[in-house]
A = this chain, B = another copy of it.
Amino acid sequence: MAEDKSDIEIARGASLKPIQEIGEALGIPPASLLPYGHDKAKISASFLGSLQDREDGKLILVTAINPTPAGEGKTTTTVGLGDGLRRIGENALICVREPSLGPCFGMKGGAAGGGYAQVVPMEEINLHFTGDFHAITTAHNLLAAMIDNHIYWGNALDIDPRRVTWRRVMDMNDRALRGVVTSLGGVSNGFPRETGFDITVASEIMAILCLASDPADLEKRLGDIVIGYRYDKSAVYARDLNADGAMAVVLKEAIQPNLVQTIENTPAFVHGGPFANIAHGCNSVIATKAALKLADYVVTEAGFGADLGAEKFFNIKCRKAGLRPAASVIVATVRALKMNGGVAKEALGAEDISAVQKGCSNLGRHIENVRQFGVPVIVAINHFHTDTDAEIDVVKAYTASLGEEAIVCRHWAHGSAGIEELAHKVVAVANSGKADFTPLYRDEISLFDKIETVVKRIYHGAEVAADARVRDQLAEWEKAGYGHLPVCMAKTQYSFSTNPALRGAPSGHIVPVREVRLSAGAGFVVAICGEVMTMPGLPRHPAAERIRLDAEGRIEGLF
């Protein structure tokens, strides 16, 4: 039982296998497995290249209802399901995202699962891990330095310093860096201009790393980045600055997937972690594709609720990478459904049948949405010890009324033993031949029509509100040859609408698109519905104040 132990205590109590052994079991030769300590490794690009002719396993997406402060446990369920599939004798592999280091110092909490369903070593995964985010920070800031350096030495490209859109990044919650003026202090420091820093996960390079198919594609996409505009308003590419090659060198190791294990020794790829807001929020295509070559079942996740995460997983990642998911698990908790049904967080401990019933509308909407992509759905009820049988029965009956099955999972408390039923069901569904994946819209329709399709068919909104500036910008990009790109929606994760307080399953709302951004290297057009925060701040009492090493050199206060 997990209830009397913290996540970190459980993680430290786990009996890990040497990472070489985990790699060997996957058929990775020792020379292709690059260890980082005894419990982490990277898999060499050349080995991945050698897998091309193998058959693919089946891809299972774990997504969720809209997140609430009650917690849903999407990563925990992804990890638990991987363990569960192994337990019932299947060859399964897990693909999740790398957590960002900076936010660890803000609010307490990691992103490596929880209870008896975790990937380990959790402290290292949450901190420097294998250095991927540091490499992305460096590549991003190298390009920034080369831009200002180019302007300093004569600006042969005629870049308009007021129209440099490429900012700098840092993997830190540092609100002071959101808006800065650089190059102060005199002639030798360049031309002062207004710019700012985003957090590293928000870098377009992070999205590029996660969508690239191989190192050559990575370098091509890096060259495609639009860094700003000339005085004549034509786009300037990273390639024009000859920055793409050096950036690819900086990312040479980062593009290789990381292998770790769960506390039950199931192999897990933890690779890439793009912002689920201004990017697509999924782990890397390289890791997912490699996993499909190495295992019969690959369990992966997508950021936030299914309206954002699954939509972008299907419409961006699967479309672009040619992935065909075989089944989808939608995670719900009784507590989160109650919150969707109007209960305050403080009152979640008490049984409330009618609130569960009411909140099920949120689950129902996600079920319908995912079905539109031709991917069969299973509902996982991530069990919490305060859940009553009556409450659970409500969820089961509701799901059954939609023709699907809801299965109670107790992986948090019991590990793989608590999730066998879901594992069996996933195997059955994935092999049923029912899946027939198709993206929601075709490449050929206009960018605006793509946005409208998502708003109407996923958010169930009445219309898109966008002023002429936004529509003109989209039309300009279409003329420039970007019309075939998918759209990457940026919207609050708490609601189908743009109002975070509107839980449940609202419909008929208007979705305002305030701004659009081109990520030419990543290959999508971002539609911003509401405010997007690309650099968080620290809270009044940041976790960093309590984080330290204990007498045995172990980390205290991180989780």
Instruction: Write the residues of chain A forming the contact surface with B, with a CB cutoff of 8 angstroms.
Output: 31, 34-38, 42, 45-46, 101, 105, 127-128, 131, 134-135, 137-138, 141-142, 144-146, 148-149, 152-154, 170-186, 188-190, 194, 196, 215, 219, 241-246, 248-250, 252-253, 537-538, 540, 542-549, 553, 555-558
Subset of 15 A-B contacts with CB under 8 Å:
A101-B138, A105-B145, A105-B246, A128-B138, A145-B174, A145-B176, A148-B174, A149-B538, A175-B183, A180-B181, A215-B553, A243-B544, A243-B545, A245-B545, A246-B544
The distance from the CB of A535 to the nearest CB of chain B, in whole angstroms, is: 9
A144 to chain B, nearest CB (A): 7
Partner of A549, one of B134, B152, B245: B245
How distant is the Cα of A544 from the Cα of B172 in the complex, in angstroms?
26
A549 neighbours in B (Cβ, 8 Å): 215, 219, 245, 248-249, 252
Q: Copies per complex? A: 2
In the assembled complex, the CB of A384 is this many whole angstroms from the nearest CB of chain B, namely 30
Task: Chain B residues near A253: list those with CB within 8 A.
Answer: 128
B172 touches A176 (CB 8 A): no
**A249 neighbours in B (Cβ, 8 Å):** 127, 547-549, 555, 558
The answer to whether B242 and A545 touch across the interface, beta carbons within 8 angstroms, is yes
Known: A134-B131, A215-B553, A549-B219. A185 touches B179 (CB 8 A): yes
B185 touches A178 (CB 8 A): yes
A353 CB to closest chain B CB (Å) equals: 41
| Inter-chain contacts of A248 with B (CB < 8 A) | 548-549
A34-B37, A134-B134, A246-B543 given; 19 more Cβ-contact pairs under 8 Å: A35-B37, A46-B553, A127-B250, A128-B131, A131-B134, A138-B172, A145-B173, A146-B538, A146-B545, A148-B175, A149-B175, A175-B189, A178-B183, A179-B183, A179-B189, A180-B184, A181-B184, A185-B196, A252-B553
Residues of B within 8 A of A182 (CB): 176-177, 179-180
B45 contacts A38, C-beta separation under 8 Å: no
> Which residues on B sit within 8 Å (CB–CB) of A38?
31, 34-35
A553 touches B45 (CB 8 A): yes
Contact between chains at B547 and A246 (CB < 8 Å): yes
How far is A190 from B175 in the complex, measured between Cα atoms in Å?
7
Q: Are A537 and B152 in contact (CB under 8 A)?
A: yes
Within 8 Å CB of A184, what residues of B? 178-181, 194, 196
Q: How far is the CB of A390 from chain B (nearest CB, A)?
A: 44
> Which residue on B lies nearest to A551, using beta carbons?
B216
Q: Please, how many angstroms separate the alpha-carbon atoms of A183 and B153 in the complex?
A: 28
A459 → B minimal CB distance (Å):
27
Q: Is the CB of A252 within 8 A of B545?
A: no
CB distance from A123 to the nearest CB of B (A): 9
Give the residue name and chain of the B residue nearest to A133 (CB): B134
- Establish whether residues B141 and A174, one from each chain, have CB atoms under 8 Å apart when the complex forms: yes
In the complex, residue of chain B having the shortest beta-carbon distance to the beta carbon of A242 = B545
Q: CB distance A152 to B175 under 8 Å?
A: yes
Asked if residues A172 and B185 are in contact (CB atoms below 8 Å), the reply is no
